Amino acid sequence: MSKKDKQWEIIEKAKKILIDWSKDNDARIYTIHFIPMFDFSLEVYVFYESDNDVLQNLNNGISDNITTMFNKSLSDLGYMKYFSENIKFVFDSHENVVNNYEGSYFFRLR
């Protein structure tokens, strides 16, 4: 298995753990996108439904909990042994993608 395939395998496992956690904790995640960088650092884009959800979850600690939970999952799965610990989180909304990026996550993530 290539290093890049191994990276994606761990990311997908951690994503499943996070999605399950979010359902149990009413985090209301709309979707998540990952952008692995050439240096094996990682950008994690967490999208909520609305702009209001972004503000609410930043203020009530849900976004911090998501960051902590995902980083812990990656660590537990051995991600930090093989790849960069430089993981950046961006919290945004589907509403923003629709209103400012023609509904395209491709345009938003560029």
Task: Give the pLDDT mean for 30-46.
Answer: 94
Q: Return the CATH number at 103.
A: 3.30.300
Residue 38 has pLDDT above 90, yes or no: no
Terminal-residue alpha carbon distance, the chain: 28
How many domains, the chain?
1
Tell me what pLDDT residue 75 has: 96
Bridge pairing between strands 42-48 and 29-36: antiparallel
- Overall residue count recorded for the chain in this entry: 110
Per-residue pLDDT tens digits for 39-70: 889 999 999 999 999 999 999 999 999 999 99
Tell me what pLDDT residue 58 has: 96
Tell me what pLDDT residue 87 has: 96
Q: Which domain holds residue 103?
A: 3-109
Residue in this structure with the two tokens 């996108």, named with its chain if needed: 33
Q: Where are the alpha helices (DSSP H) in the chain?
A: 3-24, 51-59, 62-76, 79-82, 94-100, 105-109
Residue 63: its H or E element: helix 62-76
Residue 85 has pLDDT above 90, yes or no: no
- Total-model pTM: 0.93
